[in-house]
Copies of this chain bind each other. A is one copy, B any other.
């Protein structure tokens, strides 16, 4: 059986960077914690805990003598201010693309624009971007219908959660253009998501089975699995190699594999090895 692993499977640039920073800090620093889980991978967070990195939910939970790692999705401005007030040593592992989105939201808020953020209201990245807009006039919209709820204004500014789909972002921008005299758009979408999805589409179309690896609670992995199963109905979403059912592979000449942005490399490797064993 032919096993094809997508080039873009697994960690994106920002996640890879955050993980490297966290392990390096755990090695060098004394007591250390991360404000929220570093990335959306329970397996990786557990490994970091093994290295002494405990996860705290708020600044209040910190002991005061710890180094603090800021997670890849970023934190809220108020949290950053609390950290700075407490003068804790910081390791800022915020993805540089997320940082840009925060900065542009801040610039728009500061210059008096009504700030619109394309994204998922509940996502920590979006909550962070909202806080950096420093404005009472901020709207999070998921789609064109949401954009129609933004009140017409003279000056609208637009940024996006970095993992948004460009077509949705563009459609929202065009809806907003009709609701203002000035529209200032910062395209803060990182194309890693689109690259991974496009590669998954191509791969799913060329294989008999498709495996998508990543947290069952990971938004980007779920989306990836949905994209693949639209093309290859025999698509299976798994979190680890242990979930593979050998019955899935009966009669398959080829299996494609991809993985979400926060799926560690060793989990992908275990899946590949398990498949190799099963088809020996």
Q: Does A21 contact B (CB under 8 A)?
A: no
Partner of A187 from B166, B170, B180, B186 at Cβ < 8 Å: B180
Partner of A185 from B170, B177, B186 at Cβ < 8 Å: B177
B-contact bits for A154-198, CB 8 A (1 contact / 0 none): 000000000000100010011001101111111100000000000
| A50 to B50 CA separation, bound complex (whole angstroms) | 93
- A177, A181, A184: most-surrounded residue (chain B CB, <10 A): A177
User: Please, which residues of chain B bring their CB within 8 A of the CB of A187?
Assistant: 177, 180-183
Closest to A166 in B: B178
Question: How close is A103's CB to chain B, nearest CB, in angstroms?
Answer: 12
Closest to A182 in B: B186
Interface contact A186-B178, CB-CB below 8 Å: no
User: Please, which residues of chain B bring their CB within 8 A of the CB of A185?
Assistant: 177, 182-185
Starting from the known contacts A170-B177, A174-B174, A177-B185, 18 additional A-B residue pairs (CB-CB under 8 Å) come to A166-B178, A170-B174, A170-B178, A173-B173, A173-B174, A173-B177, A177-B187, A180-B187, A181-B187, A182-B184, A182-B185, A182-B186, A183-B184, A183-B185, A183-B187, A184-B184, A184-B185, A185-B185
The 8 closest A-B pairs by CB, nearest first: A184-B184, A183-B185, A182-B186, A181-B187, A174-B174, A170-B174, A170-B177, A173-B177
